[in-house]
């Protein structure tokens, strides 16, 4: 991917943790678990604040006895502290794991993380896809529109409905993104990019579009060797 100095990369992480007895119900161990939860909150907040994190909320009551949990931030980084897992976005989850490794009230039992791109605007998020998939988006679309039709119940090269094509392609190329202007979410960004590429291929005569009797838009892939052939069949 081309380097884009306007986009910050964070790590979207989930740490599964164990606070002793917390998950128990209706026993003295459960009571002890809730006591340990309070100790966990006190300890993790203390550890993170010492590292420069700011406590934004200790949690709030949502109703029916349901409470949210403490949240902390540091710049664009954020952590949500639930007593069975920690989630958020940080610059380096390995540094965070090391920071928390000496905690006494809980321990990390599983770690997962993936890159997330913080984009200031919708246009920057779209450019992220253009930069990454500039060389292979045509092959990805062909794989879905031309080859996946067989899996969807048709023969290779048959028509596939436009909405399904957009959904499947979007799932394959999705990049976790965070749009800081809050105008669009990351799913809207990838789908608009896919529609833009489908339109380009349609104009380049690499995709054939038709509409069935129910008004459903269908598309099929045109191989280069067949591009000169004029298709007169417009109805299914």
Read off the pLDDT of residues 112-155 as tens digits, 9 standing for 90 and up: 999 988 888 888 888 999 999 999 999 999 989 887 654 555 55
Q: Are residues 136 and 61 in the same domain?
A: no
Q: What is the pTM of this model?
A: 0.67
Q: Are residues 130 and 81 in the same domain?
A: no
Read off the pLDDT of residues 28-70 as tens digits, 9 standing for 90 and up: 888 888 889 999 999 999 999 999 999 999 877 666 666 789 9
Q: Are residues 31 and 94 in the same domain?
A: yes
Give the range of the structural domain holding residue 22, as residue numbers without chain letter.
8-118
Establish how many alpha carbons lie within 13 A of residue 85's alpha carbon, considering only the half-sphere containing its beta carbon: 10
pLDDT of res. 34: 85
121-127 LR contacts (CB < 8 Å, sep 24+): 121/179, 121/180, 121/181, 121/183, 122/179, 122/181, 122/183, 122/184, 122/188, 122/189, 124/4, 124/6, 124/7, 125/177, 125/179, 125/184, 125/186, 125/189, 126/189, 126/192, 126/193, 126/196, 127/4
Q: How many domains does the chain have?
A: 2
Q: Are residues 101 and 137 in the same domain?
A: no
pLDDT of res. 66: 60
CB 2 within 8 A of CB 112: no
Residue 235 lies in a domain: no
For residue 95, is pLDDT > 50?
yes
For residue 227, is pLDDT > 50?
yes
């Amino acid at each position: 991917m081309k380097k884009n100095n306007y986009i910050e990369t964070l790590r979207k992480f989930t740490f599964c943790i164990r606070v002793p007895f917390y998950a128990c119900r209706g026993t003295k161990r459960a009571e002890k678990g809730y006591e340990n939860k309070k100790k966990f909150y006190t300890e993790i907040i203390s550890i993170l604040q010492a590292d420069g994190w700011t406590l934004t909320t200790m949690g709030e009551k949502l109703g029916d006895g349901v409470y949210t949990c403490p949240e902390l931030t540091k710049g664009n980084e954020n952590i949500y502290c639930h007593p069975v897992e920690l989630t958020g976005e940080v610059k380096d989850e390995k540094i965070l794991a090391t920071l928390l490794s000496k905690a006494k009230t809980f321990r990390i039992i599983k770690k997962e993380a993936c890159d997330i791109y913080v984009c200031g605007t919708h246009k920057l998020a779209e450019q992220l896809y253009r930069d990454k998939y500039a060389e292979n988006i045509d092959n990805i679309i062909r794989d879905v529109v031309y080859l996946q039709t067989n899996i969807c119940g048709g023969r290779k090269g048959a028509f596939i409905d436009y909405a399904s094509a957009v959904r499947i392609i979007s799932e394959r190329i999705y990049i976790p993104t965070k749009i800081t202007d809050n105008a669009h979410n990351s799913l809207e960004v990838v789908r608009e990019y896919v529609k833009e590429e489908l339109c380009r291929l349609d104009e380049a005569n690499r995709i054939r579009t038709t509409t069935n009797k129910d008004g459903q838009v269908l598309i099929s892939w045109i191989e280069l060797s067949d591009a000169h052939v004029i298709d007169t069949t417009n109805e299914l």
